Chains A and B, each alone.
Chain A
Amino acid sequence: MHQTREDAHGGTPDEASGAASEVRFTGIRHRYGDRWVLDGVDLMLTERRIGIVGANGSGKSTLARTINGLVQPTEGSVTVDGLDPTRHGRRVRARVGFIFTDPDNQIVMPTVAEDVAFSLRRSGLPKPAIAERTAAMLERMGLAGLADHPAHLLSGGQKQLLALAAVLVREPAVLVADEPTTLLDLRNARRVSEAIAQLSQQVIMVTHQLDALAGFDRIVVLDAGRVVADGTPAEALPRYREIVG
């Protein structure tokens, strides 16, 4: 089943005034070797909170990676507010922040504050402004007391919050999160989910953990590289449960 959903849902009340970005997938097919992991996906995502779910190997992470050009689809096109990530990579990445499953692989600098500031090194901002924005972001993520702490010695949840801080400090319009809580224990997963829930950004979250999708506007269910359900959580999640059940 291939579905295109053009009707934008309303955002959460405090975000209703801001317009969400438009992420459009048109005839997306992608293969690794002989295996098609995406097999004809047509979607337009304009809601504030969008969940992408599916069994392992259903193509959801690959689909998420096409949004900021980490994966270039074999066929079809992706645009973010009309911009093609393969041709306008820098502009798209300025709009789209991405956090990965394993926060260890996202940490670049040795200390917490340095890692967040690293995201702004090419921003053209003067050093005091970078330090100010870094400090504000660490405060917001509850990491202010750990600014000089070795980043690789943080707990899993703190590392994921650091990854989130490093992405959000660039002030993207869209956050794509690829199973950001999968490697975390329940408490840390809740912490990260709560941090994401409070964002004003449009969020596209790939996840297996249905708790993390509470309050989401739209759920897209993938199976074998195709969209098999697309709607509100009440409409789409039963189909996901059928697939994995």
Chain B
Amino acid sequence: MTGTPIGLYHPGTSVLHRIPAGIKLLAMLLAVVGVVLLHRWWELAIAASVTAVLFAVARIPPHLAWSQLRPLRYIIVLVAALQCMLAGWHAAVMVCGTIVVTVALAALVTLTTRVTAMLDALGVALHPLRRLGVDTDRIGLLLALTIRCIPLVAGIVTAVSEARRARGLGFSVRALAAPVVIRSLRSADALGEALIARGADD
């Protein structure tokens, strides 16, 4: 299966790798709020530079950093065009820059934090909800499965696209969507069975 590096832990021993997951998640939350509240382009440029430095500190290879942002390229072009037409170039820079920096910050956290560490941090944060009868383990499992499903669905999309090309067919949303949805549902069923068999629900 062809995979995607989105949302995957990148092993390392940098300072950012060693910071506890809870602190990183909290810092990311504050940083994202801070970036969203910026009003001037040069402030955003500083935020972007700091984010780039953090990627360097974490020793994330440039191609891996770029692969985190590459899926945004079409959205950024679309948003930039709309913002330029409706609100001018400054708004376009601010909106697009904010999207890129916040996604990069989130990617930095996932690249430097094991999912299990994030689940543990989430468990601690959600612990008070246990008193209200909320199954916090299940919420953690949901998060883990969400991350797991990124490469799973990407692999299905790749396989379906290859099958379409092998048959000499052109691009068609319906021809792509229908088999992807069906295969995704089958995979979800199989994953559910595997979770039961592994005692995830016991």
Contacts and interface: CB of A to CB of B under 8 A. Distances in A.
Contacts of B198: 106, 108, 118-119, 166-167, 170
A198 interface: no
Contacts of A104: 1, 152, 155, 187
Query: Interface size for chain B: under 10, 10 to 19, 20 to 34, or 35 or more residues?
Result: 20 to 34
Interface stretch (A16-24, A86-94, A187-195, A219-227): A86-94
Interface stretch (A29-37, A47-55, A148-156, A233-241): A148-156
A196 interface: no
A243 interface: no
A196 B135 CA distance: 36
A152 B115 CA distance: 14
A110 B115 contact: yes
B194 A109 contact: no
A68 B197 contact: yes
Contacts of A102: 190
A92 to B, nearest CB: 10
A119 B199 contact: yes
Given A105-B187, A109-B115, A122-B199, A152 B3 contact: yes
A111 interface: yes
Interface string A160-179: 00000011001000000000
Interface in A62-109: 65, 68-70, 89-90, 93-94, 97-98, 100, 102, 104-109
Contacts of A89: 202
Contact of B155 (A65, A152, A167, A170): A152
Contacts, number: 91
A102 B187 CA distance: 10
Interface string B147-182: 110011001000000000000000000000000000
A86 to B, nearest CB: 12
B191 interface: yes
Given A110-B115, A152-B1, A152-B152, A105 B197 contact: no
A114 interface: yes
B148 A107 contact: yes
B190 A100 contact: yes
A167 B200 CA distance: 12
What secondary structure prevails in chain A residues at the interface with B?
mixed
Contact of B11 (A70, A119, A148): A148
A108 B193 CA distance: 12
Per CB-CB distance, the 10 closest pairs between chain A and chain B, nearest first, are A105-B190, A148-B11, A98-B197, A90-B202, A106-B194, A152-B151, A93-B199, A152-B3, A114-B116, A153-B3
Interface of B: 1, 3, 5, 7-9, 11, 114-116, 137, 144-145, 147-148, 151-152, 155, 187, 190-191, 193-200, 202
24 contacts: A65-B193, A70-B196, A70-B197, A89-B202, A90-B199, A94-B199, A98-B197, A100-B194, A102-B190, A105-B191, A106-B191, A108-B145, A109-B144, A109-B148, A110-B147, A111-B9, A114-B115, A114-B116, A121-B137, A121-B200, A122-B200, A148-B11, A150-B3, A152-B3
Given A105-B194, A108-B145, A110-B8, 18 more contacts: A70-B197, A89-B202, A90-B202, A93-B196, A93-B197, A93-B199, A100-B190, A104-B152, A105-B190, A106-B194, A108-B194, A110-B115, A114-B114, A118-B116, A118-B200, A119-B198, A150-B5, A166-B198
